Amino acid sequence: MSTPWLGPDEQRAWRGWVEVHARLNARIHRQLQEASGLSLADYAILVELTSERASDASARMFELGERLAWEKSRVSKQVTRMEARGLVVRRHCPDDRRGSYVDLTDAGRAAIEAAAPAHVKLVREMFFDVVPHEDVLRLADLTTAVLARLDATD
């Protein structure tokens, strides 16, 4: 009944996956900080609030947590920090039991618009420039399959 250990190819893929993430995230965070004073966590929230899923550049706190896979307390602390810097505003809805909203401010929109080009450039240079397009398609499919499994077992 014991689970077989990972095979050599699987180990190589898994260690690569874990290591690339850690190092890419560290690099992206550093670049964001230097170029625009944003952290990777700031950027992730701003991306959510400017995505097409956020109507009127607004999202519920709990939805942000679900999309980013962050615990409630982490979302709350992050939003508090960003609110202090004028990037977002928290809006309470007394009539709505599903909790409060986070709204993007003009300053928040300006911040992500200023940061995005250099961010995309880095992602291209570190990732897409060295990954053949065929592998990009595979990766897209692979992540879709894993997300479906995560959803099915939540």
Residues binding its own copies (CB under 8 A):
2-6, 9-10, 12-14, 16-17, 19-27, 67-71, 117, 120-121, 123-131, 133, 135-150, 153
List all residues 6 or more positions away from 35 whose beta carbon is below 8 Å from its beta carbon. Answer: 115, 118
Of residues 12 and 91, the one with the C-beta less far from its own copies = 12
- Taking the complex as a whole, the smallest distance from the CB of residue 98 to its own copies amounts, in Å, to 21
Burial of residue 98 (CB within 10 Å: 0-12, 13-18, 19+) is exposed
- Strands in 58-60's sheet, in edge-to-edge order, are 58-60, 101-104, 88-91
Q: Is 70 left (phi over 0), alpha (psi -120 to 50) or beta?
A: beta
Of residues 70 and 100, the one with the C-beta less far from its own copies = 70
Of residues 93 and 114, the one with the C-beta less far from its own copies = 114
List all residues 6 or more positions away from 47 whose beta carbon is below 8 Å from its beta carbon. Answer: 112
Asked if 114 contacts 31 with a C-beta cutoff of 8 angstroms, the reply is no
- Taking the complex as a whole, the smallest distance from the CB of residue 27 to its own copies amounts, in Å, to 7
Of residues 25 and 80, the one with the C-beta less far from its own copies = 25
- Taking the complex as a whole, the smallest distance from the CB of residue 92 to its own copies amounts, in Å, to 26
- Taking the complex as a whole, the smallest distance from the CB of residue 101 to its own copies amounts, in Å, to 22
